Structure 1
Amino acid sequence: MPSFNHGDVEIAYLEEGEGDPIVLVHGFASSKNVNWVYPTWVSELRKGGRRVIALDNRGHGESSKLYDSAQYSIPIMSGDIIALMDHLNIDRADVMGYSLGGRMAAWLARNAPDRLRSAILGGIGIAMIEGGGPGENVAQALEAPSLEDVTDPVGRTFRAFADQTRSDRLALAACLRGSRELMTREDVARIAVPVLIAVGTTDEVAGSAHALGRIIRGSEVLDIPNRDHMRAVGDKVYKTGVAEFLSARK
């Protein structure tokens, strides 16, 4: 798997296909493979005529593992995306992120709009502003000696997922503590690139997609029926909605 160095941090990525570039940014405790390859996002986007790039966020997958939470702020992590685009000589791209990756995509849409053709915010709604989702309970669950030692139900879910994906749990705990900052309503309202917000209708982590959509002028909202935060990623409605949004962008 190819990689490059952004400062002292090695970032692993994949690149497939030809055409308009789209960068895929996975969620917390996931990876480019779990979020995008296994649910066939990469192959389907490639078949649709896209140049598909997906990275392992720092602390995840095959990228460098860091244990200082200060190294996981949203601006720093979002900077890895821009560095990857620079490494591949990509001036502008569509960027699709899921959950944590969606918050990173939104940060770029606000702070580096000249590098984005559009932003697709999957698995993140008004929680981007109001908070919610995994917190210190999950960080402590990741640091627990074993899954049997975790009693918090949300913590158990994320711990089990981290164990399943053989993740570095201490790096994930640092990432969680460092990436919790929220965007203000005013900053979100200033996002001017085309935006699609896609959230499962039973997702209790992301917060309301429609509430976020009312703040981002001109944004589109896609409801993913009967899907929660973990099960929305590979849904056909999600994939079809993204394909239509990207096609309209052309």
Structure 2
Amino acid sequence: MIPAASRDAVLYAEAEDGELIGYRVTAPRDGDGAEGAPGSPPVLLVHGFASDAATTWERTGWVRALTDAGRTVITLDLRGHGASDKPIAAASYTPEVFGADLLAVLDTAGVDRADAIGYSMGTRILSAAALLAPERLRRVVIGGAGPNELFASWDLDEVRGLLLRGESTGHPLVDQVLKPALSAGGDAEALLGVVEGFAGAPLEFPRGIRSLFVVGEDDPVPAGAGGLAEAWGSELVAIPRRDHVSTLTARAFKDAAIAFLASP
């Protein structure tokens, strides 16, 4: 049971290595003490690289849409991002470390089992958490991700040059991801640690955790998601005229995710 005093306040979970992970709990506005629809677990939202919970989930209307649907929402800033601690060693950013962070947040929030929505890198972090403790996740929505992990194709020397010395990489997608992160005040050394430590992270979920894929039709990042969805027996929702950023704001994404998490 999530304590009422914690709702809407920034809280911190201590990770296995002592780093602090900032998270927030938002309950439905109707009904004092409501935990969402009867029998529905909280929804854990996991953002992607070089972002934070406020940018990915609050400003795009996700938290409001889910709480309007009667669901309690847990958002967190991944380590290296936002209000969470920002170690610089690549070993602090392996998939297993990130996955354990999610479990620490659920433990601290007093949540035994959750539904979850991940976006981009966040989907692979959900995968890592599910592989560590499959009983903690009921259903997952996989947004903006496919079989190919993005960082594995990046040249680390070029990434290092951009993050630490401001040198363009010559690769539009890498520059498009990293330059805004630096402009927004992202910690360059921590982001470099994420790229190094997380590169090649798998995307897989144990049997028994149902999944839904959602992709933008104009987004190259989740290429091949249709094949994964077919192999897993999962539904795929493709949103027309949306790229990797604009998919997040699509009402069709929210509606598909909310319906999937509410279905029997």
Fold in common (TM above 0.5): yes
Q: Give the direction of change, closer, same or farther, for the CA distance of 1:247–1:133 in structure 2 (3 Å limit).
A: farther
Deviations 1:70-119 (A, max 9, x none): 11011110100001101111010001111110111123334422101111
Correspondence for 2:46: 25
- Tell me, which stretches of 5 or more residues in structure 2 are unaligned? 1-9, 28-34
* 1:189, distance to aligned residue in structure 2 (A): 7.3
* 1:103 corresponding residue in structure 2: 124
| One-letter identity of the residue aligned with 1:95 | A
Verify the 8 A CA contact 1:138 1:155 in the aligned structure 2. Answer: no
Name the SS for the 2:165 alignment partner.
Answer: coil
- What is the number of residues matched between the two proteins? 243
Secondary structure class of the residue paired with 1:2: strand
Are 1:220 and 2:230 counterparts? no
| Aligned CA distance change for structure 1 residues 118 and 141 (closer, same or farther; 3 Å) | farther
Q: Answer yes or no: is 1:11 the counterpart of 2:21.
A: yes
8 Å contact kept, 2:98–2:128: no
Partner residue in 2 for 1:206: 222
Alignment of 1:24-63 (within 5 A): 24-63=45-84
Q: Does residue 77 of the first structure (1) align with residue 98 of the second (2)?
A: yes
- Give 1:144 shift: 4.1
Q: Cα–Cα, structure 1 residues 135 and 29, in superposed 2: closer, same or farther, change >3 Å? A: farther
Structure 1 residues 55 and 194, CA, compared in 2 at 3 Å: closer, same or farther? same
- Which residue among 239, 249, 259 is the counterpart of 1:234? 249
State the alpha-carbon separation in 1 of the partners of residues 258 and 86 from structure 2: 33
Aligned partners of 1:28, 1:174: CA distance in 2, in Å?
A: 12
Q: Higher mean Cα deviation, 58-67 or 117-126? A: 117-126
Tell me, what secondary structure is at the counterpart of 1:215?
Answer: helix
Match of residue 209 from structure 2:
193
Instruction: Tell me how far apart the structure 2 counterparts of residues 117 and 142 of structure 1 sit (CA, whole Å).
Output: 39
Per-residue CA deviation, residues 108-150 of structure 1 (Å, 9 max, x unaligned), is: 334422101111111111225x986656377335424336x45
Larger radius of gyration: 2
Query: Sequence identity, in percent?
Result: 31
Query: For residues 46 and 177 of structure 1, what CA distance do their matches in structure 2 show?
Result: 36
Mark the runs of 5 or more structure 1 residues left unpaired by the alignment: none
TM-score of the pair, normalised by structure 1:
0.89
Instruction: State whether residues 73 and 181 of structure 1, in contact with CA within 8 Å, keep that contact through their aligned partners in structure 2.
Output: no
After superposition, the Cα gap between the structure-2 partners of 1:134 and 1:53, relative to the gap in structure 1 and judged at 3 Å, is farther
What is the aligned partner in structure 2 of residue 139 from structure 1?
159
Equivalents in 2 of 1:137, 1:154: separation in Å? 16
- 1:143 touches 1:169 (CA, 8 Å); kept in 2? yes
**How far apart, in 2, do the equivalents of 1:241 and 1:227 lie?**
15
RMSD of aligned residue pairs (Cα, Å) = 2.2
CA contact (8 A) 2:134 2:206 kept: no
Measure how far apart 1:174 and its partner are.
0.7
SS of 2:226's equivalent in the other structure is helix
Question: In the alignment, what sits opposite 1:2?
Answer: 11
